[in-house]
A and B are shown apart, each in its own frame.
Chain A
């Protein structure tokens, strides 16, 4: 097809009945990924702050882990936006000429502030480790070690003192950064909700509850992802240690996997936020039905006909109710928790999907519908970026980054501290 006839959105939009000529599903899979990833960042940070600020001792194990994980997620929250932009090279304009009446313009500022806070907190958490490494690596041969030492040297920012007074100051700074971080993390994701909630043209999106719903589900997904990654890593270490012992490795003395204690306590926080998220969503739905504004007819037909399975079966049923019951039933095991966490993550993803894609499932004319067909096999850059593989790229990146970060900032090797 002639390149100049390719209209953005036409590829994956199917129109039914009367839809305005220029209407397409312009915000597709990457805009589903965007609040999803931002939510994971915010959630992971809130989880770590629960320990640092409120002294929730039961979360100590998770705190350092989820803090570094939120750093790994940070650049990924930006990635889907860049992949979605029609002019990604101009994207920096958001930083240069922010138009603050736009919810997206806040992105540059809030996101950078948040990144600065996370980095600062991590610096305080790991400063002692940086200094130790710089000393430990001194005089060790090999270019890799020398390089590593230079890196740690730079990371100390020239602050070498590890006397108790300095370390006490570090701990105080961590608490302060974590405390500032909570509202900023909330704001970061709340504004993601505001991006949608403030679009008055869209009958499904426009709701003052949207930012709050987004924050709640963000925390849910963030906690779920941190727990799941923790379980996977600890079980993997356990497997490795068991195998090594089986081979007769004398150095292996401790075999321990994920601790049920940590898991069950974190799960309790997860359920609290899950209840809040669901209550708000149901409240929103009831209000729409009860007030039955002009748009209710078309919203109802989208929710209860076209998207019924996606909303009520996949999102609320499979993604919320089922894992809730699984976590609540007595005799919780690691395996059951892992399955429930996967379902929770899926449920939050479906919530994002149903908001972003569902909000474009009907025409602004209220006289027609649009169906979204996710491009699976890409045949050009556009269908890659805004297709299944683009989304998978976004989803995989934080794990790769986390793996890389762990080389510098070990999160789970207990011997280190």
Chain B
């Protein structure tokens, strides 16, 4: 009898305890959310772009500009999409109207050059953004320490400290930097640092309907992005500058500039 009473008490206790726990305690956290909760230790953000999937809709550019408060109609952008049309004579025709913000709806390259469909050998769209280099030349040349690399590998610009000399813009081999038309300081893609720090995806990754863009933690062996980078043939842009870019490309053509 005493035994069964103890049993009863015990189970009552368990039920009460379990009921007192919030429902959220049982929710599974995504790896990103775990990282957001535990800080930047053990995180190195990387990006993966699949040029085989991009159709040039430009939703990423639109989302980026609105998310990051880059004046929508100003001719500068933190991310952009380039169109490459390679003709049978080996010539490369490239354009990126408004950075691809409104997509590619015109056959004419730069609105002027019409390539005949029968001359086309191959075509692809290449999204570009800051490579968050491991050795960022833009940071090296900043005279005042207004741009820097965070512990998780993202290069940020301190708008209160930047003097606007433009040296970082000159030093970037990828042309990702520009002067913000409103703040009048250097500006660039920061992998939506506010979003990834909260466990969200970047605005451009969320906006891409085709899965051409992904972001992940390169230090996490189980991150799907890391697994692709470790196992598939990937390439980076302008390797020869020694910047060690951390935006990786699947299906990158040699004609990509």
B-contacting residues of A (Cβ < 8 Å)? 2-10, 17-18, 20-24, 26-27, 81, 84-88, 90-91, 93-94, 96-99, 101-105, 107, 195, 198-202, 294, 363-367
User: Is B241 located at the chain interface by the 8 A CB criterion?
Assistant: yes
Q: Are A102 and B140 in contact (CB under 8 A)?
A: yes
Q: Are B257 and A365 in contact (CB under 8 A)?
A: yes
5 contacts between A and B (CB under 8 A): A5-B71, A7-B75, A10-B75, A96-B144, A104-B141
**Residue in A10, A81, A99, A367 whose beta carbon sits within 8 Å of that of B145 in the complex:** A99
- Which A residues are in CB contact (< 8 Å) with B177? 22
User: Is B171 located at the chain interface by the 8 A CB criterion?
Assistant: yes
With A22-B175, A87-B164, A367-B94 already in contact, the answer to whether A105 and B257 are too (CB < 8 A) is: no
Q: In chain B, what residue has the closest Cβ to A203?
A: B173
- Which A residues are in CB contact (< 8 Å) with B128? 20
- Which A residues are in CB contact (< 8 Å) with B143? 94, 98-99, 102-105, 107
Could you tell me the distance between the alpha carbons of A366 and B257 in the complex, rounded to whole angstroms? 8
**Residue in A20, A99, A103, A198 whose beta carbon sits within 8 Å of that of B144 in the complex:** A99
Q: How far is the CB of A382 from chain B (nearest CB, A)?
A: 10
Q: Closest 7 A-B residue pairs measured CB to CB? A: A86-B164, A20-B175, A104-B143, A365-B257, A201-B173, A22-B178, A18-B94
- Which B residues are in CB contact (< 8 Å) with A88? 163
Q: Are A90 and B179 in contact (CB under 8 A)?
A: no
- Which B residues are in CB contact (< 8 Å) with A294? 240
Q: Are B257 and A9 in contact (CB under 8 A)?
A: no
Could you tell me the distance between the alpha carbons of A105 and B142 in the complex, rounded to whole angstroms? 8
User: Is B47 located at the chain interface by the 8 A CB criterion?
Assistant: no
Q: Are B170 and A201 in contact (CB under 8 A)?
A: yes
- Which A residues are in CB contact (< 8 Å) with B155? none
Q: How far is the CB of B75 from chain A (nearest CB, A)?
A: 6
Could you tell me the distance between the alpha carbons of A2 and B71 in the complex, rounded to whole angstroms? 10
User: Is B193 located at the chain interface by the 8 A CB criterion?
Assistant: no
Which has the most chain B C-beta neighbours within 10 Å: A23, A87, A91, A364?
A87
Q: Are A98 and B144 in contact (CB under 8 A)?
A: yes
* Interface range for B: 35 or more
Q: Are B137 and A201 in contact (CB under 8 A)?
A: yes
Q: Are A94 and B144 in contact (CB under 8 A)?
A: yes
- Which B residues are in CB contact (< 8 Å) with A90? 144, 161-164
- Which A residues are in CB contact (< 8 Å) with B162? 86-87, 90
The secondary structure that dominates the B interface is loop
Q: In chain A, what residue has the closest Cβ to B109?
A: A18
- Which A residues are in CB contact (< 8 Å) with B171? 199-201
Q: Are A26 and B163 in contact (CB under 8 A)?
A: no
Among B21-29, B32-40, B180-188, the one that faces the other chain is: B180-188
- Which A residues are in CB contact (< 8 Å) with B140? 101-102
Known: A27-B166, A195-B167. 11 other contacts (CB 8 A): A6-B181, A7-B181, A8-B181, A21-B75, A21-B77, A22-B76, A85-B164, A93-B146, A97-B145, A104-B167, A364-B257
Q: In chain A, what residue has the closest Cβ to B241?
A: A200
Q: Are A103 and B141 in contact (CB under 8 A)?
A: yes
Q: Are B173 and A86 in contact (CB under 8 A)?
A: no
Could you tell me the distance between the alpha carbons of A81 and B161 in the complex, rounded to whole angstroms? 17
User: Is B107 located at the chain interface by the 8 A CB criterion?
Assistant: no
- Which A residues are in CB contact (< 8 Å) with B71? 2, 4-5
Q: Are B167 and A102 in contact (CB under 8 A)?
A: yes
User: Is B169 located at the chain interface by the 8 A CB criterion?
Assistant: yes
User: Is B46 located at the chain interface by the 8 A CB criterion?
Assistant: no
What is the 8 Å Cβ interface bit string for chain B, positions 63-75, against chain A (1 contact, 0 not)? 0000000010111
Which has the most chain B C-beta neighbours within 10 Å: A7, A81, A102, A367?
A102
Q: How far is the CB of A390 from chain B (nearest CB, A)?
A: 16
Which has the most chain A C-beta neighbours within 10 Å: B137, B163, B182?
B163
Could you tell me the distance between the alpha carbons of A104 and B169 in the complex, rounded to whole angstroms? 14
Could you tell me the distance between the alpha carbons of A85 and B179 in the complex, rounded to whole angstroms? 11
User: Is B92 located at the chain interface by the 8 A CB criterion?
Assistant: yes
User: Is B172 located at the chain interface by the 8 A CB criterion?
Assistant: yes
Q: Are B170 and A199 in contact (CB under 8 A)?
A: yes
Q: In chain A, what residue has the closest Cβ to B163?
A: A90
- Which A residues are in CB contact (< 8 Å) with B246? none
**Residue in A4, A20, A201 whose beta carbon sits within 8 Å of that of B182 in the complex:** A4
Q: Are A86 and B99 in contact (CB under 8 A)?
A: no
Q: How far is the CB of B111 from chain A (nearest CB, A)?
A: 13
User: Is B220 located at the chain interface by the 8 A CB criterion?
Assistant: no
**Residue in B98, B170, B184 whose beta carbon sits within 8 Å of that of A26 in the complex:** B170
Q: Are B169 and A26 in contact (CB under 8 A)?
A: yes
User: Is B115 located at the chain interface by the 8 A CB criterion?
Assistant: no
Q: Are A7 and B76 in contact (CB under 8 A)?
A: yes
Q: In chain B, what residue has the closest Cβ to A26?
A: B166
- Which A residues are in CB contact (< 8 Å) with B134? none
